[in-house]
Amino acid sequence: MQNGRPTIVNLIPSSNPAHPLLKRLPEIGEVFHRDRMSEEEFQEVAPHADVLVSASNLRVTDEELSHYPALRMVGDFGVGFDGFDVPAIARRGLRACHTPDVLSEDVADLAIGLLLALARSLPAADAFVRAGRWPNENFPLGRRIAGCRIGIAGLGRIGKVVAERAKAFRMEVGYTARAPKDVPWQYFKSVKDLAAWCDALIVVIPATPETHHLINREVLEALGSKGFLVNIARGALVDTEALIEALRDKTIAGAALDVFEHEPHVEDGLLKLGNVVLAPHIGSATVETRDAMAELVMENIRLALNGQPLVTPIPGTRRD
């Protein structure tokens, strides 16, 4: 607390002045951007910080938390929190929020969009026309996705919306989860079994130490030479080297990726391949959803500063 207002330290890069959350944080308190402060300035501000704001693609470690002895809550602008040291947050008795649900629709839309782009070679078709090749050449045939078997690896909030979208394409839906759910779709115990069954495998599983490289060489071989892989979850879920090998050797037909193991770096092996569609982690990147995410973080911050339970606490953190 400084000058009678809460002190907010922001870890999200401040280079985008139009970021919906960064625009609104001053409504609540004095905002200090970590990437704009000198070390001397940071040492002066950190002991007074009430709120720490970050994003799901960034890391909030126990060491980072140790800089803020007066901290009351941690805000995550995103649904994923694999970069957040949740045990350390809980041990320090901090409230912490994330932004589930509000982004499910857009991420699911992108999953279907990526599958369409991959099956119908839309990026290549665009380049084909722009290069003036249409008058003299025939563009290769694509693949139909209507009526195909779609496998959803992880039937959580987003996975269920993907399944609902699949209805419009008359797709047959299969899924994996920790246990069967009360849904009308076919359950598979393992991702490998699901991959062997489906035509397109959509990865929507949270990133944890247990799910690291869950999509490995065996899963890709099970998916087969006509199978498509779409990853809208986390890059670390897929063994990138195994994927590059599978794409290069045509072990699978193609992949569409919105997330990468070492993003924003993308392996050269992926960039050189023609049977992969790449996107810069834009699953929730619509005006409407980013505004809704910002509003949810703001609501949670206000509640935390008033000592009230959060609307969307990060699982494993304080709930009172």
The strands making up 172-176's β-sheet, listed across from edge to edge, are: 186-187, 172-176, 149-153, 200-203, 228-231, 254-257, 276-278
Residue 282: CB partners within 8 Å, gap ≥ 6?
110, 258
Q: At 256, give phi and psi (nearest 5°).
A: -130, 125
Residue 154 CA to residue 169 CA, distance in Å, equals 20
Q: Residue 261, Cβ neighbours under 10 Å: how many?
A: 21
Cβ pair 247, 276 in contact under 8 A: yes
Give the residue numbers annotated as catalytic, written as ranges.
Answer: 234, 263, 281
**312 is written with which tokens?**
């969307």
Residue 291 CA to residue 122 CA, distance in Å, equals 29
Beta partners for residue 257, in sequence order: 231, 278
Beta partners for residue 60, in sequence order: 84
Residue 118 CA to residue 276 CA, distance in Å, equals 7
Of the candidates 90, 96, 81, 76, the residue with the CA atom closest to the CA atom of residue 12: 76
161-164, Cβ contacts within 8 angstroms, sequence gap of 24 or more = 161/104, 161/105, 161/107, 161/108, 162/108, 162/111, 162/112, 162/202, 162/204, 164/108
Residue 297: CB partners within 8 Å, gap ≥ 6?
21, 53, 75, 76, 77, 97, 99
Cβ pair 6, 25 in contact under 8 A: no
